[in-house]
A = this chain, B = another copy of it.
Amino acid sequence: MNQQMGLRERKKERTRETIAETAIRLFLDKGFDRVSVTEVAERAEVSRRTLFAYFPTKEDLVLHRFADHESEAARIVRARPEGQPPLDALRQALLTALAERDPNTGLNDSPETIAFFGLITSTESLAARLTRYVARGIDALADAFREAGADPLDARLLAAQVIMVERELAEINHAHLVDGQSADDRYPEAVRAAGRAYDLLRDGAGSLA
């Protein structure tokens, strides 16, 4: 029974992947607003109705991946080594992600990644819906901070700051790559900016502002 259920699940998963891939390919090719859901369904060889059974909205065809990563920051905090401050763990994780050219850092210069990133930032409805996942990421991170012993108010404020700062850093990196800079060229400055950002979080803006 387990195997049979497994087969079904796998088939559903394959259908799901096919739909999402077809959609993203079309969106990258013609632009999100210039492709109708009907066209996606036709190309993916499912009915419109079925497509909506897998993805509740058109935007989710693109953004479903982010649903999985929304609590990544919280996970990092929870998995940190004994005795390490949460902010240090997050800083370290960001530096690692930069070194690995993690797409979420905006520092991956493969054409598809750049295009995908650009698709989201340049499509208003996608950017808007993305913030929903961002908000959940903030909530999750605030929970993790609280578990780590932070005051509830501090936890929320700091979580919001961390998440927003990481987004800004990613956007800045992406902007440079769009400008033609290679990820390797940008890397040192990206590392510096990330360090500066976490210094600000730890030490504050102080007299500077």
Other-chain residue from B128, B172, B209 in contact with A153 (beta carbon distance below 8 A)? B172
Give this chain's copy count.
2
Across the interface, which residues of B come within 8 angstroms of A193, CB to CB?
A: 153
Q: B124 near A197 (CB under 8 angstroms)?
A: no
Residue count of chain A within 8 Å CB distance of chain B: 38
- Interface residues in A149-190 (C-beta closer than 8 Å to B): 150, 153-154, 156-158, 160-161, 164-165, 167-169, 172
Q: B154 near A168 (CB under 8 angstroms)?
A: no
> Is residue A31 contacting chain B, with contact meaning CB distance below 8 A?
no
Q: How far is the CA of A204 from the CA of B202 in the complex (A)?
A: 5
Q: A154 near B204 (CB under 8 angstroms)?
A: no
A13 to chain B, nearest CB (A): 27
